[in-house]
Amino acid sequence: MDILNLLHLPLSTVAFYAIPFLIALTVIVFIHELGHYLVARWCGVDVESFSIGFGREIFGWHDRNGTRWKIAWIPLGGYVKFRGDANAASFPSGEAMEQARLDPGNFHGKPVWQRAAVVAAGPIVNFL
């Protein structure tokens, strides 16, 4: 058997492993991000968006709290974006730092223990 035959895998073999992997990853990411979301809401942080996947949105909806729930094209992760974040990595926007103490729903204006709880919630939920 030469190397070219090893590299030429049938599409059914790739799908046999790739599709279950992406499904399992999506479930794990959803549970992880749900941990962040639930603790953030419990701490009074406003959540702007909850995304499974990255890139352009395939479809989404708004809940009664104003959170945009969405499914995106690249199913290799996800994120929860809080009020005051400049991006999905929770980097604070310039204006957020100035207004954080005045805005009760701003993530960056919360006490350190609440921010730590929100950040730790994802891995803790995955561990449980």
Which listed residue (33, 48, 95, 98) is catalytic? Answer: 33
Which residue in 63, 102, 60, 62 sits closest to 84, CA to CA?
Answer: 102
CA angle 77, 81, 82 (to 5 degrees): 150
Within 13 A of 42's CA, how many CA atoms are on the CB side?
Answer: 13
What sign does the CA torsion over 44, 48, 49, 54 have?
A: negative
Classified as helix, coil or strand, 73 is strand
Q: What is the largest CA-CA distance in the chain?
A: 68
Is 57 an active-site residue?
Answer: no
How many other CB atoms sit within 10 Å of the CB of residue 75? 18
Residues designated catalytic? 33
